[in-house]
Structure 1
Amino acid sequence: MKNHNHNINSEIAYTHLFSKKKQTLVAALGVTVGIAIFIFMNSLMYGFEVYSVESLFKSTPHLRIYKEEKISQPLVSNSENNLALLANPKITKESKKLINPNLIIEALKKQPEVIGVTPNVSANVFYNNGEAQVIGRTSGVNIEEQNTMFHLEDYIVEGKYSDLKSNQNGIILGVGIAEKLNVRLDDNISVATAYGVSKVMKVIALLKTGVTNTDNTLSYTNISAAQQLNKHGSSYITDIFVNIKDFETSRKVLPKFKQLSGYEVEDWETANVSAAAANKIRKMMAMAISFSIMLVAAFGIYNILNMTIMEKLNDIAILKAIGFSGKDVIKIFVKEAVIIGIIGIAFGLILAMILVKLMGNLWVGGDIGFFPIRFFPKFFVLGIGFGLLVTTLAGYIPARKAAKLDPITIFRK
C-alpha cells in the first residue's frame, strides 16, 4: 500500500512539474543563479587569499631560526653614578653565527610537522655593472633544498636554477635587478658588501616572482659565495629556514622549535605583521560574504518555491478532498522541490564553472597577472549540499503550511 501511495505521489509530482514547464524552469533558474553566485563569490574571495599567501611564501619561510643580535655590555659599571666604561654599546660582530647548524638541521628534519629545512646566509649587497648600481640582498642557499621549499623553478624565466650548483660564482638575479643593471643571461656583474669584499659573478638565471620588491632586490648565490661576501669561513650560517605542513600553526610550534634549536625562532606572522593582518581580514571578509550570499540565495530560492506551491493551492484542495492526507501533500511538494533543486544545482555548477573559467582568464596585469580566482572543489561540494538543503526546506515549509489548510476554505477563496 505504501509503495502504491509512493508511486501515485511521484506521478502527481512529475505531472505538476511537466504540465507547467515554464513555472518549473523559473524555479530551477532561481536555484541555478543562487548556487552559481555562491560558488563564484567564494572562489573569488578564497582565490585572493591563496594568491596573497603564495606571494608571501615565494621567498619567506614559515619559520626562521636565527641568533639574536646582542649588544655589548659595559665592562665596569657604577650603580651609584650610572657610569660605565663602555658608554656607547654596539652590536657584537660575531652575533649572527649559528653554532653546529648541521646538527640543528638534522634534528629539525626528524620532526613530523616539518616538510622542508635549509640553511641560509644572508648579505646586504651592492650589485654593480659599470656605472649602474643597485642595492639589494643576496641569499646564500643550497639551491636544490631552496627549490624544494620555495619552488624556484616555477619563477625562473631565463636559464636554469640548477646551474647554480655547478657554478660557485654564479648568481640568480631578480628580473628587476637585471633590468636596472642592463644585464642578460651569462653576463658578469660585480657584487660588493659593506665589509669591503667584492666578487665578480656570472648571471646564470633570472627570477620573476611577481612581487616587485622581491624581484628588484633579491638574488640567490651558493652558500660559499655568500660566506665570502660576509668575510667568513665555511662554518658561517646566519639562518635556518623551516617549512611545516600547516603554516597557520607556525606560532604554536615556536616553543618546541626554540627548545630544539637553542636559538630564536621567528614565525612568518611576526616577520610580516601587515601581511598576516591582511590575511586575517580577508578570511573574515570571506566568511562574512559567504554567509551573506548563502542567506540571500536561500531566501531567493525559498521565495520562488513558496510562490510556486502557493499557486497550487487549488490542486492541494482537490488532493485533500479526494482523500490524500497532509503527509502525502507534503511528500508531493517536497519531491517537486528536490527535483527542481537537482535541476537548478546541475545548471548552477555548470554556470559557476563557466564564470570562474572566464574570470580566471582575465588579465589584470601588474604583479597579479591573471585574475586570482581558482577552482575549489570544496565550494562545489558545499554548493550541492547547500542547494539540496535549501530546496528541501523551501519545499517542506510552505507545503506543511498548505497541507494544514481546510480544502473547503481554499475552494471558497
Structure 2
Amino acid sequence: MLNRTPHVRLYNELKPAVQQPIDRYTQGRPQHNFIRSIKPREELPRIRNSGAILAALRRDPRVRGVAPKTQVQVFYNVGTVTLNGTISGIVPEQENALFAFGDYVVAGDFLSLNTVPNSIILGKAAADLMLVDLDDVVQVTTPKGDHVQLKVVGLFQSGLLEIDKVQSYTSLATAQKLLGESNIYVTDLQVKLHDFTLAPRLAKEYAKLYEVQAMDIQTANAEFETGTFVRTLISYAVGITLLTVAGFGIYNILNMMIYEKMDTIAILKAVGFSGTDVRRLFVAVALSIGLFGGALGLVGGLGLSALIAQLPFTPASLPAVKTYPIDFNPVFYGIAAVFSILTTYLAGFFPARKASKVDPVVIIRGK
C-alpha cells in the first residue's frame, strides 16, 4: 500500500456548485434558500491545465517525481456477462520509478504497454475470473458504449483481492483513446515527495494553488497509520518490559552477591578500600555483565535475523515479498546496546551503594 500510494494525489472531484443560481439572484436580500437534490456540475473529471501543473510540480525541489494517470470506468465483456472494471492509463516508466509498478506485475512485461498497441495489464483476480492469460484478447465496453478489444500483455497483483478483480492498467494514450479525449486529458496527478511527512501541508498548498482537490497519504491511510502506531507501541512496551525484567534479575544477582561477599567487603574496607572503591567495583561487575550480555545478545539477534531473512515467504497478499522481511537498521542495535548498558548500570548502582556503606567492624565482630 505504501509503495502504490502517492504522497499527494491531485484530482478533480465532481461536486455541486458551492453557489447556486438562486443564491446569486437573491444576494443581499433578507431570505434563506433551501435546495434539495442538488446535482453535480456538468463537467469532466479532468484536471484543467494539467500540463502546466505537471511542469510546475516537477520544478518544485520538494517533489521527487510526478506521474500522470487517467482513470476509465469500463465493463469487461465475458460472453453475455459484463463485469465492472477500472482501467488506469499510466506512463509505465514513471509509474515503475515512483511506485515500483514492475514489482507487482507477476506475468509479462509492463514495458509492453509502450510497444504493443491497444494492450492491457489485467488484475490477476480479474484474469482468473475471465479465464484469460497472456496474449489473449479481452473486450471492454467504454463509458460511451464503444466495444474495444485489448491484448493482455501482463498480469498485475496488488495483494488486495477485491482491487485485483476490477483494476487494470494500460498506457496513458490508450486510456485517453478509450474515453475519446485528447492527449491532454488527465484525471490524476500522483506526487511523490522527498519527505512524505510534508504531504498534509503540501496537499493544502497545492489544492489552493492549482484549484483542485488534493489527498495526502496520511489522510488516505489514516486507519493504517493508527493501527501501525498501536502495534509499534505494543512492541516497544513488550521489549522495554522484558529488558526491565532482565535488569531486575541483574539487580537480584548483585544483591545476593553482596550478602555472600560481606566478609570480603569488610576485609577490603579494613585494609584501606574506601566506600567509593567498593561501589566502583560492583558497578564494574554490573557493567561487565551488561557489555558481555549485550554483545552476545546483539550478535545472536543479528545471526538469527539473518537466518530468518533467508526463509522463503511468498504470501498472496504481498507479491513483491519473497522472504521474511527483516529490518537491519543499525539504529535498533544501537538502542539495544545503550539500553543494556544503562539497565545494568542502574541495576548495579543501588546494590553497590549499599555495599559501600557496610561497616567492617560490625561484620568482623559478628564473625
Please give the TM-score of this superposition, normalised by the length of structure 1.
Answer: 0.77
Which has the larger displacement, 234-243 or 91-100?
91-100
Bigger drift between 356-365 and 256-265 goes to 356-365
Which residue is equivalent to 1:367? 317
Over 3 Å counting, the alpha-carbon distance change for 1:306 and 1:151 in structure 2 is farther
Structure 2 gaps of 5+ residues are none
Structure with greater helix percent: 1
1:151: Cα distance to partner? Answer: 0.6
* Aligned sequence identity (%): 37
1:66 pairs, out of 8, 11, 31, with: 11
Write the deviation string for residues 122-152 of structure 1: whole angstroms up to 9, x where unpaired.
1222223445643222211111111111111
Residue equivalent to 1:333: 282
Question: Which amino acid in 2 is paired with 1:390?
Answer: T
Return the structure number with greater relative CO, CA threshold 8 A, min gap 6: 1
Q: Which runs of 5+ in 1 are unaligned?
A: 1-55
1:249 aligns with 2:198: yes
How far does residue 65 in structure 1 lie from its aligned partner after superposition? 0.7
Distance in 2 separating the partners of 1:249 and 1:309: 55
CA distances 1:185-209 after superposition (whole Å, capped 9, x unpaired) = 1111112233313321111111223
Is 1:114–1:244's contact at 8 Å kept on the other side of the alignment?
yes
Question: Residues 339 and 212 from structure 1, CA distance in 2 versus in 1: closer, same or farther, beyond 3 angstroms?
Answer: same
Q: Is the 8 A contact 2:46 2:186 kept in 1?
A: yes
Q: Deviations over 1:132-175 (max 9, x none)?
A: 64322221111111111111122222111112122231111221
Query: Which residue in 1 is equivalent to 2:49?
Result: 100
**Paired residues of 2:142 and 2:148 also in contact (CA < 8 A):** no
One-letter amino acid of the counterpart of residue 329, structure 1? V
Q: Deviations over 1:17-63 (max 9, x none)?
A: xxxxxxxxxxxxxxxxxxxxxxxxxxxxxxxxxxxxxxx22332111
Q: Is 1:389 aligned with 2:339?
A: no
Deviation of 1:335 (Å): 1.9
Structure 2 distance, partners of 1:356, 1:132, is 50
Q: Which residue of 2 aligns with 1:274?
A: 223
For this pair of structures, how many residues does the alignment match?
356
1:14-413 residue pairs with structure 2 within 5 A? 56-71=1-16, 75=21, 89-131=38-80, 133-357=82-306, 360=309, 361=311, 363=313, 365-367=315-317, 373-411=326-364, 412=366
Mapped partners of 1:353, 1:132: distance in 2: 55
Deviations 1:351-403 (A, max 9, x none): 32344345553748452576555333221111111111112222222112211
Q: Structure 1 residues 309, 251: closer, same or farther in 2, change over 3 A?
A: farther
- Relative to structure 1, the CA distance from residue 280 to residue 346 in structure 2 (aligned partners, 3 Å threshold; closer, same or farther) is closer
Q: TM-score, normalising length from structure 2?
A: 0.86
Q: Any conservation in 1 of the 2:120–2:152 contact (CA below 8 Å)? A: yes
The residue type equivalent to 1:158 in the other structure is A
CA RMSD of aligned residues (A): 2.8
Q: Distance in 2 between matches of 1:177 and 1:90?
A: 33
Q: Which portions of structure 1, spanning 4 or more consecutive aligned residues, are displaced by more than 4 angstroms?
A: 72-84, 357-360, 362-366, 368-373
Q: 1:140 to 1:356 in 2, by over 3 A?
A: same
Tell me, what secondary structure is at the counterpart of 1:145? helix
Give, in whole Å, the separation in 1 of the partners of 2:327 and 2:267: 50
What is the Cα deviation at residue 279 of structure 1?
3.0
